[in-house]
């Protein structure tokens, strides 16, 4: 366990941090030198290094700057404050979760309909798959403007982007999950004279669970992407996407990086929660660990 | 008077549905006819949606700012082909294709390089999986800051977004050949490169093409989102966000249609190449059932 997993991963993470630290000097060097030249000073390499790590608006912020910004905007600020990253993360998280709930619910229902109706399968499946090859976020800005115009504002328009993105993996995963019982098992159900609903509840749904959770993991990660993207083109003032956008406008590199890390942390926590639910449900169903 | 349109739309939809119901139950003796029926079902479904859309817009006098009729979008599309072509060239031909080639190519090469070291593999695989789940499009503002407003910054986002799925899938694919087959190669005294080219790469193709397909969508999304953070005055993402601001929703839909067409065609080309390269694979052989 230690030698096979922890050590290699730790090494890779350490190597990335080391490369990052080197690149802080490489990328910020030009800026520091220009500053010194403008001030008419000679500057030694040691000074370049030390200044590269403490620039106000660096090209590449150093790891400790990002960590300090994360710390000061999460722990030190009140969570109701507009400058708190927890507040912005919550805005994004709420639309992520709402969109994820609607999207996965809709995906499951659609999958059940598709499995039971050949016409729906043949007429809709090609479109569902095709809809995945188009860049859905192209619709995001317009969807929000349209919904604003008919009086729907706030959380729901943003959540709908997440819905659209998360619905596909769930629908497709659920269709193959509901089809996963083999012919033998279906025949057995038929010998019991089970009707469609009984087959669905007692055979198809339980055997679809592993597929469902795998899809849910993808869906919740992509829901977060959708929520962030939905905040970009609409001039949202709160949320992680809005932090990215305002950081980009005002050249606040450290703010961009800390929002990015917050998004990454959020994504991994969400995926981990779905993973825990998966373990719990599968264990309850008697799967061997 | 306008009610006629909506009744026509509903009638068309019901008729199409009934026809589809009949069509899926048919077993034509002529295989060509069977094939035609297979294609006709989703086409009729799609046509019904467009006709309902058109009917609803006309019947309820929905202002074009909310939802333009498909016919208006079509007119707009035909009339602004030069603009659309310029956007397509900027976003797709430059940012997407170049970024896709670099991202997938480097992911593939790195996977082959680290494949020889179990330590690196153990370290990079969880890391790659982790990064693939993160909202990568968030790095767009950083890339715009580093590489400027033109297409290289968009291509850079695409490179980062496509690199990790390719890396993870290629590593997985390279270990797909069984140890028995590898032992056989060893008894032939095959060198490492011979084993790679004749056994392990062919076994990895399905995984690699899976990544190429996922990436074809990711690349387009990444490029369009990156344009929300600043572009020269051309590009699909730029056009979408500005035309939404100017309330030219029909232009936005025209741009979406182009994006959808480009995305589907890109995906289709990759799928077609996969068919040719992995003709032996069960999923391709039984695909024409």
Average pLDDT, consecutive stretches of 10 residues, N- to C-terminus, chain A (289 residues): 76 86 82 80 77 77 82 75 80 90 92 85 78 71 74 78 85 86 88 89 87 87 86 72 82 83 88 90 77
Whole-number Cα distances in Å, A217 to A166, A197, A283, B77, B134: 10, 27, 18, 38, 12
pLDDT at B15 over 80: yes
Could you say which of B42, B66, B139 has the minimum Cβ distance to residue A122? B42
Interface confidence: ipTM more than 0.85: no
Among B73, B141, B270, B272, which would you mutate to test the A interface (most chain A Cβ atoms within 10 Å of its Cβ)?
B141
Question: What's the whole-number average pLDDT of chain B?
Answer: 83
pLDDT of amino acid B109: 93
Among B17, B18, B47, B134, which would you mutate to test the A interface (most chain A Cβ atoms within 10 Å of its Cβ)?
B134
Backbone angles phi, psi at B167, to 5 degrees: -60, -50
pLDDT at B17 over 90: no
Q: B201: distance to nearest CA of chain A, Å?
A: 25
Return all residues near A255 (Cβ < 8 A) that are at least 6 apart. Answer: A69, A243, A246, A247
Note whether B156 and B113 are within 8 A (CB). Answer: no
For residues B238 and B265, what is the distance between their CA atoms, to the nearest angstrom? 22
At B288, is the pLDDT very low, low, confident or very high (cuts 50, 70, 90)? very low
Whether A139 sits inside 8 A of B122 (CB atoms) is no
Which residues of B fall within a CB distance of 8 Å from A232?
Answer: 225, 228-229
For residue range B150-205, list pLDDT tens digits in order. Answer: 888 889 999 998 998 899 888 888 888 888 888 898 899 988 888 888 888 888 88
Whether A9 sits inside 8 A of B123 (CB atoms) is yes
Cβ of residue A118 closer than 8 Å to a chain B Cβ = yes
Structure pTM? Answer: 0.81
Which residues of A fall within a CB distance of 8 Å from B119?
Answer: 7-8, 11
Q: A45: distance to nearest CA of chain B, Å?
A: 23
For residue range B192-230, list pLDDT tens digits in order. Answer: 888 888 888 888 888 888 888 888 888 888 888 888 877
Q: Name the range with the highest mean pLDDT among A213-217, B30-34, B133-137, B145-149.
A: A213-217
Cβ-in-10-Å burial (0-12, 13-18, 19+) of B83 comes to middle
At B119, is the pLDDT very low, low, confident or very high (cuts 50, 70, 90)? confident
Q: B221: distance to nearest CA of chain A, Å?
A: 5
Whether B252 sits inside 8 A of A141 (CB atoms) is yes
Whether B145 sits inside 8 A of A139 (CB atoms) is no
For residues A254 and B142, what is the distance between their CA atoms, to the nearest angstrom? 10
Q: What is the percentage of chain B residues whose pLDDT exceeds 90? A: 8
Backbone angles phi, psi at A90, to 5 degrees: -65, -40
Instruction: Give the residue, A243 or B100, on which the prediction is more confident.
Output: B100
Among B16, B123, B136, which would you mutate to test the A interface (most chain A Cβ atoms within 10 Å of its Cβ)?
B123
- Mean pLDDT of the B18-30 span: 77
What 3-state class would DSSP assign to B229? coil
Q: Which residue of A has its CA nearest to B42?
A: A123
Among A14, A134, A172, A254, which would you mutate to test the B interface (most chain B Cβ atoms within 10 Å of its Cβ)?
A134
pLDDT of amino acid A16: 86
pLDDT of amino acid A255: 83
For residues B162 and B217, what is the distance between their CA atoms, to the nearest angstrom? 10
At B284, is the pLDDT very low, low, confident or very high (cuts 50, 70, 90)? low
pLDDT of amino acid A28: 80
Instruction: Give the residue, B186 or B288, on which the prediction is more confident.
Output: B186
Q: A50: distance to nearest CA of chain B, Å?
A: 21
For residues A34 and A129, what is the distance between their CA atoms, to the nearest angstrom? 52
CATH architecture type of domain B75-284: Orthogonal Bundle (1.10)
Cβ of residue A245 closer than 8 Å to a chain B Cβ = yes
Chain B contacts in chain A segment 204-233 (CB below 8 A): 217, 221, 224-225, 228-229, 232-233
Whether B138 sits inside 8 A of A146 (CB atoms) is no
Is the four-CA dihedral B112, B117, B122, B127 of positive or negative sign? negative
Which residues of A fall within a CB distance of 8 Å from B144?
Answer: 248
For residue range A105-135, list pLDDT tens digits in order. Answer: 999 999 999 888 877 777 777 787 777 766 7
Which residues of B fall within a CB distance of 8 Å from A149?
Answer: 65-66
User: How many alpha carbons fall within 13 Å on the CB side of residue A67?
Assistant: 5
Whether B142 sits inside 8 A of A260 (CB atoms) is yes
Whole-number Cα distances in Å, A268 to A221, B133, B134, B214, B224: 8, 8, 7, 20, 25
Whether B224 sits inside 8 A of A138 (CB atoms) is yes
Nearest Cα to Cα of residue B78 among B261, B260, B258 = B258
Which residues of A fall within a CB distance of 8 Å from B229?
Answer: 232, 244-245, 248
- Mean pLDDT of the B40-54 span: 82
Could you say which of B120, B141, B260 has the minimum Cβ distance to residue A256? B141
Which residues of B fall within a CB distance of 8 Å from A224?
Answer: 135
Could you say which of A27, A132, A149 has the minimum Cβ distance to residue B66? A149
Size of interface A-B (CB pairs under 8 A): 160
pLDDT of amino acid B175: 84
Could you count the other beta carbons within 10 Å of the beta carbon of residue B72? 17
- The single-letter DSSP state of residue B189 is T
Which residues of B fall within a CB distance of 8 Å from A217?
Answer: 133
Which residues of A fall within a CB distance of 8 Å from B41?
Answer: 119, 122-123
pLDDT of amino acid B283: 63
Note whether B137 and B225 are within 8 A (CB). Answer: yes
Q: Which residue of A has its CA nearest to B218?
A: A135
- Mean pLDDT of the B86-114 span: 90
pLDDT of amino acid B287: 46
pLDDT at B64 over 80: no
Is the four-CA dihedral A191, A192, A198, A199 of positive or negative sign? negative
Could you say which of A133, A142, A232 has the minimum Cβ distance to residue B228? A232
Whether A118 sits inside 8 A of B24 (CB atoms) is yes
Whether B38 sits inside 8 A of A122 (CB atoms) is yes
């Amino acid at each position: 366990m230690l030698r096979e997993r922890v050590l290699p991963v730790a090494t890779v993470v350490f190597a990335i941090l080391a490369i990052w630290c080197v690149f802080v000097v490489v990328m910020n060097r030009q800026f520091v030198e220009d500053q010194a030249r403008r001030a008419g000073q000679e500057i030694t390499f040691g000074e370049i290094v030390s200044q590269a790590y403490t620039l106000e608006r660096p090209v590449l912020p150093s790891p400790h700057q990002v960590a300090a910004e994360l710390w000061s905007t999460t722990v030190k600020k009140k969570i109701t404050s507009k400058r708190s990253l927890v507040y912005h993360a919550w805005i994004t998280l709420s639309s992520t979760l709402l969109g994820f709930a609607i999207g996965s619910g809709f995906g499951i229902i659609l999958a059940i309909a598709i499995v039971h109706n050949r016409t729906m399968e043949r007429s809709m499946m090609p479109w569902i798959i095709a809809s995945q090859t188009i860049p859905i976020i192209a619709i995001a800005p317009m969807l929000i403007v349209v919904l604003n115009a008919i009086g729907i504002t706030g959380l729901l328009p943003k959540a709908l982007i997440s819905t659209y993105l998360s619905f596909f993996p769930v629908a497709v995963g659920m269709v193959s999950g509901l089809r996963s019982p083999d012919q033998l098992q279906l025949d057995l159900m038929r010998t019991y004279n089970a009707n469609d609903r009984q087959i669905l509840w007692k055979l198809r749904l339980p055997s679809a669970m592993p597929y469902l959770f795998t899809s849910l993991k993808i869906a919740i990660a992509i829901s977060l992407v959708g929520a962030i993207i939905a905040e970009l083109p609409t001039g949202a003032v709160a949320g992680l996407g809005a932090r990215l956008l305002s950081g980009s406008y005002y050249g606040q590199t450290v703010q961009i990086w800390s929002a990015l890390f917050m998004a990454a942390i959020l994504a991994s926590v969400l995926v981990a929660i779905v993973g825990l639910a998966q373990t719990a449900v599968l264990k309850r169903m008697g799967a061997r660990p | 008077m306008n009610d006629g349109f909506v009744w026509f739309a509903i009638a068309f939809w019901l008729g199409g549905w009934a026809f589809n119901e009949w069509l899926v139950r048919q077993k034509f003796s002529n295989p060509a006819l069977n094939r035609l029926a297979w294609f006709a079902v989703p086409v009729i479904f799609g046509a019904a949606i467009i006709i309902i859309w058109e009917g609803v817009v006309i019947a309820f006098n929905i202002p074009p700012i909310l939802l333009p009729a498909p016919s208006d979008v079509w007119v707009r599309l035909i009339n602004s082909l030069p603009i659309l072509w310029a956007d397509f060239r900027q976003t797709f031909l430059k940012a997407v294709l170049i970024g896709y080639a670099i991202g997938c190519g480097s992911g593939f090469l790195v996977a082959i390089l680290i494949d020889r070291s179990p330590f690196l593999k153990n370290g990079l695989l969880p890391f790659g999986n982790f990064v693939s789940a993160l909202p990568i499009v968030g790095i767009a503002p950083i890339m715009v800051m580093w590489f400027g407003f033109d297409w290289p910054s968009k291509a850079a986002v695409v490179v980062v977004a496509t690199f990790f799925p390719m890396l993870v899938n290629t590593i997985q694919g390279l270990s797909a050949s069984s140890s028995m087959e590898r032992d056989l190669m060893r008894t032939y005294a095959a060198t490492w490169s011979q084993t790679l080219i004749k056994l392990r790469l062919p076994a990895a193709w399905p995984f690699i093409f899976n990544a190429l397909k996922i990436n074809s969508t990711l690349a387009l999304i990444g490029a369009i989102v990156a344009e929300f953070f600043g572009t020269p005055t051309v590009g699909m993402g730029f056009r979408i966000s500005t035309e939404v601001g100017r309330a030219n929703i029909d232009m936005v839909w025209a741009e979406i249609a182009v994006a959808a067409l480009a995305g589907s065609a890109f995906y289709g080309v990759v799928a077609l190449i996969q068919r040719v390269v992995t003709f032996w694979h069960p999923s391709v052989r039984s695909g024409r059932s």
